[in-house]
Amino acid sequence: MFDTICTYAGSERFYSILDFQKLSESDIEKLRHSLICPECREQAFYRKKSVDGKKACFGSRYCTCRETTPSPERQKERGNAAEVQQILTETDTIEISFVTGSTSSTGNEGSPTDTRSDIAQAKNKKAHTIASEKKRIPKVSLEKILHSLLRGTGLATSDTIIPIGDYKYKAKNLFVKFPDAEPMEKNAHRFYWGTLYNSNSDIEWLNPAECKDVGIPLGNLRDIILEKFNIPNADSLEGAAIIFDGHCRWNKDKTKKIITINDSERLFISLDD
């Protein structure tokens, strides 16, 4: 994306990437939360020139209007979102799989036999399988859920039931976008999601692109997360999408919301390509 519209302070101004990168660091920091795609007006971000030579650019994990030649990663996102959307039309309950790459669960049917007793057993097993199929709850990976949320397939506002442990949650309550995060007293599950503007140089703290009043500390999970998602440096996190099981609280002065990551298993990061 080579140009964007900035809506800071209620007015709109067009910026090319050449003009925007000439601004002072303080102006860029002030304006970066107010960038949108000129065509679809979805949230956009600015990525500065990286240490490994990548040029400065605008981008968006929500925009699809400019995908005339989508990258393999964007094609994957689109396919995953379509799959989740189809699942939502077929069931009112889904389970989250925390194994990367997991799709819906499947059953196995026995191979046919020639003896009468085996045939009878096979028929009984088939009847049991059919009954089980009716009760089976599709399992969807956290990666596919994130792609579905990014693509606006309706999951974020859905009444779809998602069981976690002994509790059942509606999708619209379980998945919380960063700007909508609110401090919680109870220990109910919430999966926070959105995109990242950047991190500090040591990748100990993540800053969402959608809002200024939220911070995400990695804490003692830092090294595990960096290795799991092959994150080489802070620059690689600019424009990344993320979803995780977390807990939101106020900082000491109640000026910023802190969302802590509960564990490294219930988390997925999709780096921008």
Q: Say whether pTM exceeds 0.85.
A: no
Asked if residue 146 belongs to a domain, the reply is no
Mean pLDDT for all residues in the chain? 84
137 class by beta-carbon count within 10 Å (0-12 exposed, 13-18 middle, 19+ buried): middle
- CATH code, domain with 239: 2.40.50
22 class by beta-carbon count within 10 Å (0-12 exposed, 13-18 middle, 19+ buried): exposed
Asked if residue 126 belongs to a domain, the reply is no
Specify which residues 88 forms β-bridges with. Answer: none
Q: How confident is the model at residue 67 (pLDDT cuts 50, 70, 90)?
A: low
Give the number of domains in the chain.
2
Asked if residue 153 belongs to a domain, the reply is no
Instruction: Please name the amino acid found at residue 21.
Output: Q
Task: Show which of 27, 43, 59 is a domain's final residue.
Answer: 59
Asked if residue 76 belongs to a domain, the reply is no
Instruction: Please name the amino acid found at residue 66.
Output: R
Asked if residue 111 belongs to a domain, the reply is no
Domain that holds residue 240: 175-270
Asked if residue 230 belongs to a domain, the reply is yes
Whether the per-residue pLDDT at 131 is higher than 60: the answer is no
pLDDT in tens, 73-90: 778 888 999 999 999 999
What residues have CB less than 8 Å from 210, skipping those under 6 apart?
33, 43, 177, 178, 179, 194, 195
C-alpha distances in angstroms, 74 versus 39, 53, 62?
A: 18, 22, 11
Q: How confident is the model at residue 68 (pLDDT cuts 50, 70, 90)?
A: low
Specify which of 57-61, 65-69, 199-203 reaches the highest per-range mean pLDDT. Answer: 199-203
Asked if residue 80 belongs to a domain, the reply is no
pLDDT in tens, 217-233: 999 999 999 999 999 98
Cα–Cα dist 195/272, whole Å: 10
Asked if residue 150 belongs to a domain, the reply is no
Structure tokens at 131: 């009954």
